[in-house]
Amino acid sequence: MRSTLALDNCPAARALDVVGERWALLVVREALAGASRFDEFRDRLRVSENTLTRRLTELTAAGILRRTQYSLKPARFEYLLTEQGRALMPVLAALAAWGNEWTDPDPDLPKPPARPGWLDENTAGIAERRT
C-alpha cells in the first residue's frame, strides 16, 4: 500500500493520492476518448496487463470509474467514467496545455493532433497545440 501524500491535508496532494500514479490519468484520458473495455485500454496504452489491472481497480475504488458487467459467460466488464472521473477533463486539458507549451513531441512518433479528440467544446481551447 502506498503512503499518502496528503499529510498536511493539501487538496493538490489529496488529488495526487488518487490520480498521481503514472498510468492513472492516461487511463482516464482513454476513457474520455471512448475506451471502456480492458483490451481497449491495454491496446491503446500499450501497458502490461498487471499494471492496467491495478490502475483500473484503484480508479474504480476511488470512484473515478464504475465497473459494469456486460457479459456473463465469460464474465466481462467495462469501465465507465463517473461524474467524478469526467470532472478530470479540465485537469487533463491543463496538463496537455502545459505539455504543449513546455515539451516537444518526439519527431520519431506520429505528429500529435492539434486538438486531442477527448476534449469537449468547453475545454478544447485550453489544450490546443500551438503551431
pLDDT in tens, 14-67: 899 999 999 999 999 999 999 999 999 999 999 999 999 999 999 999 999 999
Please tell me the pTM assigned to this model: 0.85
Residue 1's pLDDT band (boundaries 50, 70, 90)? very low
Nearest C-alpha neighbor of 96 from the set 82, 79, 117, 65: 117
Residue 83's pLDDT band (boundaries 50, 70, 90)? very high
Q: How far apart are CA 34 and CA 122, in angstroms?
A: 18
